[in-house]
Amino acid sequence: GESVGLHLPTLSVQEGDNSIINCAYSNSASDYFIWYKQESGKGPQFIIDIRSNMDKRQGQRVTVLLNKTVKHLSLQIAATQPGDSAVYFCAEMITGGGNKLTFGTGTQLKVEL
Amino acid sequence: DGGITQSPKYLFRKEGQNVTLSCEQNLNHDAMYWYRQDPGQGLRLIYYSQIVNDFQKGDIAEGYSVSREKKESFPLTVTSAQKNPTAFYLCASRKLTGGGEEQFFGPGTRLTVL
- Tens of pLDDT, residue by residue over B45-72, are 999 999 999 999 999 999 999 999 999 9
What DSSP assignment string belongs to A26-60? S-TT--EEEEEEE-TTS--EEEEEEETT-SEEE-S
Task: Give the one of A46, A49, A105 whose C-beta lies nearest to B104's C-beta.
Answer: A46
CA distance B48 to B74: 9
Contact B77, B46 (CB under 8 A): no
Number of H helices, E strands in chain A: 0, 10
Length of chain A: 113
A12 pLDDT higher than 90: yes
Q: Do B101 and A95 touch (CB under 8 A)?
A: yes
The residue of chain A with its CA nearest to that of B48 is A100
Task: Give the one of B31, B104, B106 whose C-beta lies nearest to A99's C-beta.
Answer: B31
- A54-100 pLDDT, tens digit per residue, is 999 999 999 999 999 999 999 999 999 999 999 999 999 988 766 78
φ/ψ of B82, rounded to 5, equals -80, 115
- Residues of chain A in contact with residue B31, where contact means CB-CB under 8 angstroms, are 99
CA distance B7 to B24: 9
Contact B80, B16 (CB under 8 A): yes
Task: Give the one of A8, A95, A101 whose C-beta lies nearest to B103's C-beta.
Answer: A101
Among A103, A105, A108, the strongest candidate for a mutation testing the B interface, having the largest count of B CBs within 10 A, is A103
For residue A1, the model assigns a pLDDT of 36
CA distance B102 to B94: 7
Amino acid at residue number A27: N
Q: Do B40 and A8 touch (CB under 8 A)?
A: yes
CA distance B23 to B102: 18
For residue B108, the model assigns a pLDDT of 97
Amino acid at residue number A54: M
Distance of CA B103 to the CA centre of its chain: 13
CA distance A35 to A48: 6
For residue B1, the model assigns a pLDDT of 54
Q: Is B95 on the interface with A (CB under 8 A)?
A: no
CA distance B87 to B112: 7
